[in-house]
């Protein structure tokens, strides 16, 4: 789980904050840098092809087993796509080509996530899921340090092309892990072909009903289900909107890549983990709705710290305080929202419904935040972060209404 978590976590920063700094060094405009958030959109729609990965057997790779075969295939594709991306130079003339291969990296990474999540769930009994998930998340965070702090440290001494070439080696952690692992032995009878061979169209109809229609219709049984979806979309908007531009902001303040790497990718990651633990304690003692409200307020408050950083300029102590405060609140908010999403899932459709809800959660990060670069280029940094802070109010107002109407228990 540690190795698979690493393999799942390391690609993310290569197409987000680490990539943003590469784009800035290459002279791209803020609007284009912000628009690169769109390359992460496959993370938001991975539910669309997850039933195919769950059921189709891969030739050649299937001899490793359904899960291991797909995992090895996606990891090899991931390594190749990062390696191809490493040969690019994101100049103002060919940034669209870089965006295309960055999206290819995301597609491979999202496909790997589908397989690895299934592998993790199938590998443990119910009473072991918590421990397995905890180790997986730890590996995920280590993977993000590899593609964040370590990549920025390398960028101080090597070209970005060489840095991304080295980053492609991260996929070997997952490849070796899968080759040394065993295929999960849980009963897969639900996914196996029926003993009675049906014609193609009846099989297709049954496939669509089980995979797509049933999970949706089951979720619609929730009171005010459409309001719940809107809340999930808005809750992390304030934090996620500014995310594509934070590394660019640090660079504008005059911090070196080493300082950014240490502060944002190591101290920030530690603060995120601590925030997640605090969020879990608050949920166990006060409940989900109290945790959602507290973390939501803290998201807005900690965004204001960036305004202070903008006025403080190149102050390394202020940078540490800004990143730690933001990461702490972000860790709490993510834990609270994940707990809420988990409570919404039906036992019969847990995997599919969670994939759908978590994909919706990432829409703000991957699509709505794509205009952040344009906004940052048309206003000062303090005004930009004040605008990002204001985006927390729709979610808090909607949360207050849902608690009052007992929509959130």
Calculate the CA 350 to chain-centre distance.
19
pLDDT for res 397: 96
The fold of the 211-409 domain, in CATH, is: Growth Hormone; Chain: A; (1.20.1250)
Higher pLDDT, 407 or 161: 161
* Tokens read off for 215: 């999970």
Distance, CA of 131 to CA of 128 (rounded, Å) = 6
Percentage of the chain surpassing pLDDT 90?
37
Instruction: Give span(s): CATH 1.20.1250.20, the chain.
Output: 1-181, 211-409
Distance, CA of 82 to CA of 87 (rounded, Å) = 9
Q: What are phi and psi of 156, to 5 degrees?
A: -70, -25
Q: What is the full DSSP assignment across 333-386? A: HHHHHHHHHHHHS-GGGHHHHHHHHHHHHHHHHHTGGGGHHHHHHTS-HHHHHH
When pLDDT is averaged across residues 32-49 and rounded to a whole number, the result is 84
pLDDT for res 191: 45
Higher pLDDT, 114 or 265: 114
Is residue 265 within 8 A of residue 54, CB to CB? The reply is: no
Report field, pTM of the whole predicted structure over 0.75: no
Name every residue whose Cβ is closer than 8 Å to that of residue 48 and which is 6 or more positions away in sequence: none
Distance, CA of 40 to CA of 243 (rounded, Å) = 13
CB atoms within 10 A of CB 185: 9
* Tokens read off for 280: 């879990």
Higher pLDDT, 284 or 106: 106
* Tokens read off for 57: 């057997």
User: pLDDT digits over 82-99, tens only?
Assistant: 999 999 888 887 899 999
Percentage of the chain surpassing pLDDT 70?
88
User: pLDDT digits over 183-206, tens only?
Assistant: 887 544 444 444 445 566 676 677
Is residue 6 within 8 A of residue 139, CB to CB? The reply is: yes
pLDDT for res 354: 67
**Reported confidence tier of residue 211, pLDDT bands at 50, 70, 90:** low
**Reported confidence tier of residue 161, pLDDT bands at 50, 70, 90:** very high
* Tokens read off for 276: 């997640």
Q: Average pLDDT of the chain?
A: 84
pLDDT for res 193: 47
pLDDT for res 44: 80
Helix 2-14 to helix 66-86 angle (10° resolution) is: 30
pLDDT for res 302: 92
* Tokens read off for 176: 């070796």
Is residue 384 within 8 A of residue 306, CB to CB? The reply is: no
1-181 sits in which CATH class? mainly alpha
SS3 for 287? coil
């Amino acid at each position: 789980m540690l190795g698979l978590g690493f393999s799942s976590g390391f690609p993310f920063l290569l197409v987000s904050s680490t990539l943003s700094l590469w784009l800035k060094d290459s002279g791209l405009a803020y609007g284009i840098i912000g628009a690169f958030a769109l390359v992460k959109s496959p993370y938001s729609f991975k539910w669309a092809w997850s039933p195919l990965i769950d059921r189709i057997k891969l030739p050649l790779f299937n001899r490793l087993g359904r899960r291991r075969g797909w995992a090895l295939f996606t990891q090899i594709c991931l390594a190749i796509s990062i390696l191809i991306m490493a040969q690019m130079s994101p100049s103002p003339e060919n940034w669209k080509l870089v965006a295309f291969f960055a999206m290819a990296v995301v597609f491979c990474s999202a496909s790997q996530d589908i397989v690895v999540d299934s592998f993790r769930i199938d590998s443990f009994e119910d009473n072991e899921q918590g421990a397995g998930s905890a180790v997986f998340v730890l590996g995920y965070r280590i993977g993000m340090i590899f593609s964040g702090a370590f990549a920025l440290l390398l960028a101080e001494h090597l070209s970005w092309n060489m840095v991304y070439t080295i980053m492609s080696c991260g996929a070997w952690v997952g490849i070796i892990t899968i080759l040394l692992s065993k295929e999960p032995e849980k009963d897969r009878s639900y996914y196996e072909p029926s003993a009675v061979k049906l014609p193609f169209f009846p099989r297709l109809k049954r496939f669509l009903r089980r995979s797509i229609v049933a999970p949706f219709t089951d979720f619609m049984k929730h009171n005010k289900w459409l309001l719940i979806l809107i809340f999930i979309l808005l809750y992390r908007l304030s934090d996620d909107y500014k995310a594509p531009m934070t590394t660019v902001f640090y660079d504008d303040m005059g911090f070196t890549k080493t300082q950014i790497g240490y502060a944002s990718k190591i101290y920030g990651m530690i603060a995120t983990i601590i925030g997640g633990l605090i969020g879990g304690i608050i949920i166990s003692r006060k409940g989900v709705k109290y945790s959602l409200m507290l973390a939501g307020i803290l998201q807005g408050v900690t965004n204001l710290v960036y305004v202070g950083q903008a006025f403080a300029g190149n102050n390394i102590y202020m940078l540490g305080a800004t990143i730690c405060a933001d990461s702490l609140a972000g860790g709490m908010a993510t834990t609270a929202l994940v707990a809420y999403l988990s409570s919404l899932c039906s036992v019969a459709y847990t995997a599919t419904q969670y994939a759908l809800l978590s994909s919706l959660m990432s829409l703000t990060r991957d699509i709505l935040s794509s205009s952040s670069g344009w906004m940052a280029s048309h206003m000062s940094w303090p005004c930009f972060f004040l605008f990002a802070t204001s985006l927390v109010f729709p979610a808090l107002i909607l949360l207050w209404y849902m608690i009052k109407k007992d929509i959130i228990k």
